[in-house]
A and B are shown apart, each in its own frame.
Chain A
């Protein structure tokens, strides 16, 4: 469980960090290291150099404004948990992040690290995709902003280039009266979920669903929304029949992985149950 040798640099600016990455395609970025260190321990990753962001200023802010919530790449799970304003500005984010990992890992794990690692069962990538968030990157070729739906391409795979550093996650504005829920099932607290569901919708004056977003983690090879389920819900008032229909459609829409923890059929059933519970919770009280 010892990492292969690598060089280590802790530059003081983003510019220097990008120069180091651009000069060495085998270099990797480290911040909290809570996903990368296990990969190094197993030698699933063997970078030539680690570029540590710990001395880079300005990536640690949580900004709440009229256009939404912006999370700097070095914001930690702990910071999100402790920010009381976020509970109002983005309750779905706060609830989902409450499920991330364990106490010690929450003290070091970061927003940028989770997005870059791109575990299909991770909560933050799921929230980013469900909420139509954008991921800001900066590299040798300049800055760019990628919609979360296009950012994740598969298990541990993203469109991030080797010389690019994630700087920020931008979540669109969250209306106060939005209905939402987050549900996941893991075998033990803090474990990656076997499956999870993040969902929200707005209501028109007659209580019909507008703007439904239903996202799934753990039961697909990357976080994704379920358009089939969303179109089923759109324009209708939530009732028991619609909830059952949506749950069945969700189970059909996912293509779950098989592993030693759960088979595909089990994960499919789990998605149905989680969608059902999530929609019921959202329709009854507007929160999880």
Chain B
């Protein structure tokens, strides 16, 4: 089936089998391997992408269901030569070791802070509870997300002004 959607700001059109989930479409058809697949049944959160502004698990969504949507993957968070404030905070706080869960952590945290720039540690922990990390023990990840909040508050203020 032909499916068209916006991917990281660019229109894309793919021809896929209905059974192909969005994560495999991104990785295998579109070549964006930043989205990781850990479990493929909605447990680990590594495949989290942002669809129409909301964090979703791309292994629990069919590519054909993305028709007409706006999809942002970890590749779409930053420009090629610069880290975002969230990514910078992850590096500063050592919020990754092996890095396998990091794309899902970043997309989840980005979606959360975009909607809720004042999320407290408890809210951040609740939102990240669906993302498994076997290296860090989560504490540096929560610290990084807490520190990145300022950047999202500023973004909001800027867009508020005409």
Q: Once bound together, how far apart are the Cα atoms of A107 and B55, in whole Å? A: 7
Q: Is the CB of B42 within 8 A of A38?
A: yes
A41 interfacial contact with B, CB 8 Å = yes
State whether A103 and B18 are in contact (beta carbons under 8 Å apart), knowing that A1-B40, A37-B59, A37-B60 are contacts in the complex.
no
Q: Once bound together, how far apart are the Cα atoms of A40 and B65, in whole Å? A: 15
Most buried by A among B39, B48, B60: B60
Q: Could you list 8 A-B pairs, sorted by A, with CB under 8 Å?
A: A2-B40, A30-B62, A33-B62, A41-B41, A50-B18, A103-B55, A104-B45, A107-B54
Question: In the complex, what residues of A have CB within 8 A of residue B128's CB?
Answer: 103
Q: Is the CB of B41 within 8 A of A105?
A: no
For the A-B complex, the count of residue pairs with Cβ-Cβ distances under 8 Å equals 85
Q: Is the CB of A189 within 8 A of B54?
A: no
Partner of A3, one of B19, B64, B127: B19
**Secondary structure of the A contact surface, majority rule:** loop
B13 interfacial contact with A, CB 8 Å = no
B21 interfacial contact with A, CB 8 Å = yes
Q: Once bound together, how far apart are the Cα atoms of A38 and B39, in whole Å? A: 10
B-side residues, CB < 8 A to A, are: 1, 17-19, 21, 24, 39-42, 45, 48, 54-57, 59-62, 64-65, 67, 108, 112, 126-130
Task: Give the nearest-CB partner of A34 in chain B.
Answer: B60
A188 interfacial contact with B, CB 8 Å = yes
Task: Give the nearest-CB partner of A76 in chain B.
Answer: B54
Min CB gap B66→A, angstroms: 10
Q: Is the CB of A104 within 8 A of B129?
A: no
**Secondary structure of the B contact surface, majority rule:** mixed
Question: In the complex, what residues of B have CB within 8 A of residue A101's CB?
Answer: 130
- Which of A4-12, A168-176, A207-215, A256-264 touches B? A4-12
Instruction: Give residues 21-40 of A contacting B (CB, 8 Å).
Output: 30, 33-34, 37-38, 40
Q: Once bound together, how far apart are the Cα atoms of A195 and B13, in whole Å? A: 46
Question: In the complex, what residues of A have CB within 8 A of residue B45's CB?
Answer: 102, 104
Question: In the complex, what residues of B have CB within 8 A of residue A4's CB?
Answer: 19
Q: Is the CB of B62 within 8 A of A8?
A: yes
Instruction: Give residues 226-265 of A contacting B (CB, 8 Å).
Output: none
Question: In the complex, what residues of A have CB within 8 A of residue B57's CB?
Answer: 104-105, 108
Q: Is the CB of A54 within 8 A of B54?
A: no
A202 interfacial contact with B, CB 8 Å = no
Question: In the complex, what residues of B have CB within 8 A of residue A34's CB?
Answer: 42, 60
Given contacts A104-B55, A190-B129, 18 further A-B contacts (CB under 8 A): A1-B39, A4-B19, A5-B18, A5-B19, A6-B18, A8-B1, A34-B42, A37-B41, A37-B62, A102-B129, A102-B130, A103-B55, A103-B127, A104-B45, A104-B48, A104-B57, A188-B129, A189-B129
